[in-house]
Chains A and B, each alone.
Chain A
Amino acid sequence: MSRRGRLKLLAGGAVIALALGWLIYEGVSQSAVYFVTPSELVAAPVPGKAYRLGGLVAAGSVRWEPQTVQLTFDVTDGKTTVPVQHRGTPPDLFGEGRGAVVEGQWTTDGYFRATLIMAKHSEEYEAPHPTREGPGPGMTKTLDTQR
């Protein structure tokens, strides 16, 4: 292969590498989701940023309105409590006193608007087998990995 051909090939490779790098950079900066606990969120909430908020669903906080398909509840880590609103049915494993990870955004109105709820088995239950939880892609271990 000629010198010129080699150069062309190198240039082509460089273009692909740069394009890929750019795609990855853009992809990460646009779709990064931050794992936080209620305390971490309340300490420095940034409206519009994508969070995954993990904690326990506070006892007595769940309100479910079937007619409007509105679900509200509090997520707590024992120290801080964050109010959450969600439009949608409570997922299968969702319940008071159980772990949940909610994905969504902090709003300037002082509550967390969830777009996705991932419920999990409560802490003492040991799943003996692969388990999928929640409505979307499940997150069996999300809570543990946050600590």
Chain B
Amino acid sequence: MSHPEHKDYTGAKFGMWLFLFTELLLFGGLFILYATYLTRYPQQFAAGGKELNVVFGTANTVILLTSSLFAAMAVTSVQKGDRTTTLRLLGLTVLCAAIFMVNKYFEWSAKIHHGIYPGSPRLGSAPLGESVFFGLYYVTTGLHGLHVLVGAGLLSWIGMKVNHGKIHQGDFVTLENGALYWHLVDLVWIFIFPLYYLIL
């Protein structure tokens, strides 16, 4: 089984999944804090959640779900040997990531404009739990945004490799792993969305 020249496709995916678990647990630490502070400050969390814009949140959810669809379709297309479609789909995924980040930028700017940011005087005088809610909101969505950027960079790099013919029908594990990473970014958002924007 251990031939160095043989590429262990399953092994590569196995390793990727293990890496995804570490990402899951990384966000897991923040979810532990969220669960704890939600239990302690339910009213303040509700008040904080009302400040968040459900339209922005829902729009970003739809965008990320759609980008995940594109990434999954990219894997299908590379398996079918359709390079042009793969490149187009990867491009669309990265485009969705960009729109997501633009939305995020406007959302954060609006919050900061209203004086809601870590250490702001407004939060300093707000009830105790609200400051914690927004602290967690900024850390969690910030870390998630960072992952969106990393994922978009990764998929762009993979797109270049597809373009150069280094990833193709016969050898596409890198693309599949990149898509797996992107789906993880989506998965985390699937939980962030109801926890921060909807549970009021």
Q: Do A and B bind each other?
A: no
Instruction: Give chain B's interface residues, CB within 8 Å of chain A.
Output: none
